[in-house]
Amino acid sequence: MNQIETKKGKKKEELTRRDNNSFFEEDIDTSNDDNDSESEKSSEEDENTEEETSSEDNNSEINVINAKGSKKRRNKHAPMEMSSKRPVSRFRQIVEIPKSMKQKRDPRFDSLSGKFNEDLYEKTYSFLNEYKKSEIEQIKSQISKEKDTVEKSRLQQLLSKLQSKLANEKNIKRKKELKHERKKREVELVYKGKKPYYYKKSDVKKLELIDKFSKLQESDPKVLEKVIEKRRKKNASIKHKYIPFKRRKSD
């Protein structure tokens, strides 16, 4: 009886041990499953973060690419990056030139130089006309002394160029004076109560010609006759263009 009871007790102990072992194994399995699920979640999160970072990098690279195909440098010391999708041109800019060297400034059209005052400019540099006149006199004396025909013709061309330039400047100056006089006269008439009169281009041209011919009449009447004759021929040639050709009779 004692042996039977001991055997039964041993069997009970083995059963309890097995139950305990199975319980621990189930706990271990559940813990492993939890760990596996957590590791899978972490791996999925890592993959998502990698995809997000890669998409951000791609977006940043796309944003960095310029219209010309070059990429902006992430660092100023880094070399320029070009897109491999565009063909390389022969006439490409290898070295970047700084903007300070590229920009050119013309003082005539720059606001930093201020507004151009033509009257002040003419008054300030009026002495240049005296230099031009003295230069013309020197060239005249050189022409009278020169014996070489080639050099003499060159000096004559230079003399005619300077004389025409000086005469043109004088003519422009006189036109400005006449314009100023007309404006002054019109302002006085407006103050008196009359309506302002705006001159046409043809009227201005006539007034300038009258002034020119009156000056020539005072200085040299012969020169005036030559100028009038030259002008008459010019007008006749212009009118002759509009005359129809004479039709020939058929044979």
Domain shared by 186 and 216, yes or no: no
The domain in which residue 32 lies consists of 1-65
**Residue 106 located in a structural domain:** no
Domain shared by 211 and 181, yes or no: no
Domain shared by 161 and 212, yes or no: no
**Residue 218 located in a structural domain:** yes
Domain shared by 180 and 233, yes or no: no
The region of weakest confidence among 70-84, 133-147, 210-224 is 70-84
Strand partners, 4: none
**Residue 34 located in a structural domain:** yes
More confident residue, 21 or 131: 131
3-state helix, strand, coil in the chain (%, to 5): 70, 0, 25
**Residue 3 located in a structural domain:** yes
CA–CA separation, 126 vs 118, rounded Å?
12
Into how many domains does the chain fold?
Answer: 3
Tokens representing 20 are 């305990």
**Residue 162 located in a structural domain:** yes
Domain shared by 147 and 214, yes or no: no
**Residue 225 located in a structural domain:** yes
Q: What is the mean pLDDT of residues 215-242?
A: 83
CA atoms within 13 A on the CB side of 177: 8
CB 23 within 8 A of CB 17: no
**What is the structure's pLDDT at 63?**
43
Domain shared by 210 and 146, yes or no: no
Tokens representing 107 are 């003082």
Q: What is the pLDDT of residues 36-81, one digit of tens each?
A: 455 555 555 555 555 555 544 444 444 444 545 556 777 888 887 7
Domain boundary among 162, 178, 197: 197
Domain shared by 33 and 53, yes or no: yes
Mean pLDDT in the chain?
Answer: 75
**Residue 86 located in a structural domain:** no
Domain shared by 3 and 32, yes or no: yes
Domain shared by 229 and 172, yes or no: no
Tokens representing 111 are 């606001």
> Is 60 exceeded by the pLDDT of residue 1?
no
Domain shared by 127 and 190, yes or no: yes
Domain shared by 182 and 228, yes or no: no
Domain shared by 57 and 11, yes or no: yes
Q: What is the pLDDT of residues 181-206, one digit of tens each?
A: 889 988 888 898 888 888 888 988 88
Number of H helices, E strands in the chain: 7, 2
